[in-house]
Amino acid sequence: MSLSAYLDDVRGLVLDEIQALVPTGRFRPVLYDLMLDYPMRESKMLRPALCIAACAGLGGRIESVLRTAAVLELYHNAFLVHDDIEDGSELRRGKPTLHRAHGIPVAINVGDAMLALALRPLLDNMKELGLGTAIQVMEHVARMAKESAEGQALELAWVRDNDWTHDDNAYLHMVWKKTGWYTFMTPVLIGATVAGLDRRRAAHLRRFASLLGMGFQIQDDVLNLVGDADAYGKEIAGDLHEGKHTLILVHALKRCSAADRARAVEILGLPREQKTDADVAWLLDLTHVTGAIDSAAEVARTAALSAARILAEATYLPASAHRGFLEALVEYVVVRDR
């Protein structure tokens, strides 16, 4: 089964579950339809897919983890709604962002409601999973909340202060917290918990997820600068326009001259609309001539290969379409269109 076929299957299941989670009735038009807006748009649903793959791959029932997988997707979409306000984005998945369509007050409230309402289905888990497992799942969500809030806070402080003094380790630690826990480790850990995997093996599988996440994020940033716009679906070098903190820029700024570094930091600190195309072209050139794109891609590749090695050790995870999905994700990072 191909990566996209697996993701499509998950998407169908998760969309049904999300719709079942959301109340019907008179608050539909003012609140719940808006909560459903982003999830119903085209998306990969990577987090629920990881959650389901880990659970089902370990012998758990898909139905038993589906509600939590849907909660993770709702959570994620809540943050997307708020991120779009924070970034002043106009479009999300090809349509106007929620705050463009309904105003910032409504969009902030919809995101808050999605976060706050996640508690209900996590409590309902108790009936089907039993108390112990349902509580462990909530513990995972609480850990995810803490790690990703801290990672996001760190990155926002760098952006606010136009601070580019962090080295590789500081940058990777931020990604580990912000992306690693949120998108990779927590979904996999929840799947493992629902399937009843023991703690030692769950920690092993968490290392796989952590390395896969690292590789995935860095590769994503590489593709933003070198990818074919059609294949990737976003504007080329959008990250440079935005001034996003990436391993590529950390590498480029470490290697360039002091004068170039000063100029780069000055450009990166400009608001998006004040960066000229020439500024961005110059930054893009800097990432090429310093070899930063290649070296960052190499870090992504190394992380993915380490993830592959750990997955190869995971004999507790028998061959199946679910394990195949995890293997295909690793492969995707290693060989993705470059």
Contacts with a second copy by CB under 8 A: the residue count is: 48
Query: What mask of x and - would describe binding to a second copy in positions 145 to 184, judged by CB under 8 A?
Result: xx-xxx-xxx-xx-xx------------------------
Taking the complex as a whole, the smallest distance from the CB of residue 87 to a second copy amounts, in Å, to 8
Enclosing H/E stretch for 299: helix 292-313
**Interatomic CA distance for residues 293 and 249, integer angstroms:** 9
Residue of 36, 45, 50, 113 that binds a second copy (CB under 8 A): 113
Residue 101 binding a second copy, by CB under 8 A: no
Q: Extract the tokens encoding 46.
A: 């990577």
Closer Cβ to a second copy, 141 or 297, answer by number: 141
Q: Is 120 in the site for a second copy (CB under 8 A)?
A: yes
Q: What six digits make up the tokens of 14?
A: 């998760």
Distance CA 241, CA 234 (A): 12
Contact, 66 vs 17, CB < 8 A?
A: yes
CB of 104: closest distance to a second copy in angstroms?
7
Q: Assess 119 for contact with a second copy (CB under 8 A).
A: yes
From candidates 91, 142, 262, 281, binder to a second copy by CB under 8 A: 142
For residues 160 and 173, give the distance between their C-alpha atoms in angstroms, rounded to a whole number: 19
What values do phi and psi take at 319, rounded to 5? Answer: -60, 135
Give the per-residue contact string, 60-89, with a second copy (x = CB under 8 A; - = no): ------------------xx--x--xxx--
Among 3, 8, 9, 108, binds a second copy (CB under 8 A): 108
> Which ranges constitute the DSSP H helices of 162-289?
168-175, 186-195, 199-226, 229-232, 238-242, 247-255, 258-269, 277-289
Tokens of 263: 């100029």
Rounded Cα distance between 112 and 170, Å, is: 30
Q: Which is nearer to a second copy, 123 or 335 (CB)?
A: 123
Can you tell me which of 40, 138, 270, 334 binds a second copy, judged by CB under 8 A?
A: 138
Shortest CB 136 distance to a second copy, Å: 10
Q: Where are the alpha helices (DSSP H) in 22-130?
A: 33-40, 46-57, 62-87, 98-102, 104-116, 119-129
Contact mark string toward a second copy, 10..29, x via CB under 8 A: -------------x---x-x
| Interaction between residue 116 and a second copy (CB under 8 A) | yes
Q: Which two tokens stand for residue 242?
A: 């935005």
Q: How many angstroms separate the CA atoms of 45 and 9, rounded?
A: 10
The answer to whether residue 270 forms part of the interface with a second copy (CB under 8 A) is no
From the CB of 19, what's the least distance to a second copy, in Å? 17
**Of positions 106, 305, 314, 334, contacts a second copy by CB under 8 A:** 106
Q: Which two tokens stand for residue 228?
A: 């074919």
Secondary structure letter of residue 272 according to DSSP: G
The residue ranges that bind a second copy (CB under 8 A) are 23, 27, 29-31, 34, 78-79, 82, 85-87, 102-106, 108-113, 115-117, 119-120, 123, 126, 131, 135, 138-139, 141-142, 145-146, 148-150, 152-154, 156-157, 159-160
